[in-house]
Amino acid sequence: MQGYNKYYPPEYDGKSSLNKLAGKHSLGNRARKLNQHILIVRFELPFDIWCEKCNSHIAQGTRYNAEKKKVGAYYTTPIFSFRMKCHLCPNYLEIQTDPQKTEYKVTSGARRKITEFDGDKIGAIKVDSILHASNKADDADSRDPFAGVEKTLEKTKHMRASHQRITELYQHTNQRWADPYEKNQILRRLFRNEKKSKDAKLSANDSMEWRIAKVAQHKKRHANGPTTDNR
């Protein structure tokens, strides 16, 4: 509750807050159940659910005014419960946080919608197959000591070539920017010359447009013929 452009009663001394004077909480109606350790918050469903009473589907992202309270702890991480009323029936839904699995879980009033699909049909890459292929390659290297030595030699050769290229680029940069003041002068000179050429082109275009307009005006005057005054 802010005190801007508000009426100040005579008993207000300016030492306490206006909320205390009015007997209200700073969170307003959201704090009506704070004596029960419950705070009213805006909660958004993290996944699709089915209401167990009306059997209606409630989509992910639907928002409710939920009662938030602490119901436990996982080590030092608190576990919060969100209790809300279904907007399609009088049933109450409750969802809790699960710090152990870093997700939410439905505890009462609803059930989570589980979507299953076949990864082979959509061309999904299986992580197990990738890990299996990697493990097979590691096993082959462990069985063949020379393969591991060859791989190490290739890596060393690649690192040397990369280091040489990086050194060349570093030296080239240092040579080009050894004197920043001189490079700045060159860039500013190029900029001035480019600006002068652009200004010259613009002035030439303006002059050409002016001459074309004068010629058109002269032709129009002669086409209309001389004007006579009959007075």
In a domain, 198, yes or no: no
Burial of 95 (C-beta count, 10 Å sphere; 0-12/13-18/19+): buried
DSSP β-ladder status, 103-108 and 110-112: unpaired
- Which run of H or of E encompasses 198? helix 180-224
The answer to whether residue 131 is domain-embedded is: no
Q: Is 149 left (phi over 0), alpha (psi -120 to 50) or beta?
A: alpha
> In terms of residue numbers, what domain contains 103?
33-112
- Asked whether residue 166 is domain-assigned, the answer is no
| Cβ–Cβ under 8 Å, residues 74 and 97 | no
Expressed in percent and rounded to 5, the helix, strand and coil fractions of the chain are 50, 20, 30
Are the C-beta atoms of 84 and 65 separated by less than 8 Å?
A: yes
Does any domain span residue 88? yes
pTM for the structure as a whole:
0.47
In a domain, 151, yes or no: no
Kindly state whether residue 81 falls inside one of the protein's structural domains: yes
97 beta partners: 104
8 vs 143, residue with greater confidence: 8
- Is 58 a domain residue? yes
| pLDDT score for 214 | 74
> In this predicted structure, what is the pLDDT of residue 1?
47
pLDDT 10s digits, 171-185? 888 887 778 888 888
How do residues 26-85 score in pLDDT, each as one tens digit? 788 888 888 888 999 999 999 999 999 999 999 999 999 999 999 999 999 999 999 999
Residue 78 domain-assigned? yes
Mean pLDDT of all residues in 140-164: 76
Name the token pair of 84: 């809300």
Q: Looking at the 3D structure of the chain, how many domains does it have? A: 1
